[in-house]
Amino acid sequence: MSDSEKRSPVRLERVHLHETFANVETPERLPADATVWLEMDTATWRALDPERAEVILGFEFDLSTPDEAELPCSIAASFRLLYQMGPIESIEERRRFCATRALRDAWPYWRGYLSQTLTLMGVDPLHLPPQPPGDAVRATQEAFDLSLTTS
């Protein structure tokens, strides 16, 4: 837990589906030799006022097969999370907040969105863990340069 989180309680106010994309040219069943790529591809943190902050996290799911040049399935979504919290001054603390707290808060929404979208597309359900994988948290702590997206 960062120094800012210790000083001020953090409360998630709202989660909004921010943007979405889905390529609907998918097979009825996921091929046995399919490669699934799931990643958190964007993270931004912005202070709205001294007691509120906005985090936007983007996720992407891609499915490919060895014999296809194009991805037969691609789904992306970003979520806007609004928090009541004190300010976070350091970029490193902002990065850590996005990679831990915000990722854990957004994961159930991403998991539900992905599952429902695949079902609506007629694809067999994909079972994701209830919490983000530990390697996703470790990777995201260093993956995003938040210096350009903060205010």
The residue whose two tokens read 């907040």 is 97
Residue spans of the domains in the chain: they are: 3-144
- pLDDT category, 140, cuts 50, 70, 90? very low
Q: Which fold has domain 3-144?
A: Bacterial Protein-export protein SecB (3.10.420)
Q: Is a pLDDT exceeding 70 seen at residue 108?
A: yes
Residue 78 has pLDDT above 80, yes or no: yes
In tens, the pLDDT along 109-118 reads 999 998 888 8
pLDDT single digits (tens) 85-104: 988 889 889 988 998 899 99
> What pTM value is reported for the model?
0.76
Looking at per-residue confidence, does 126 or 96 come out higher?
96
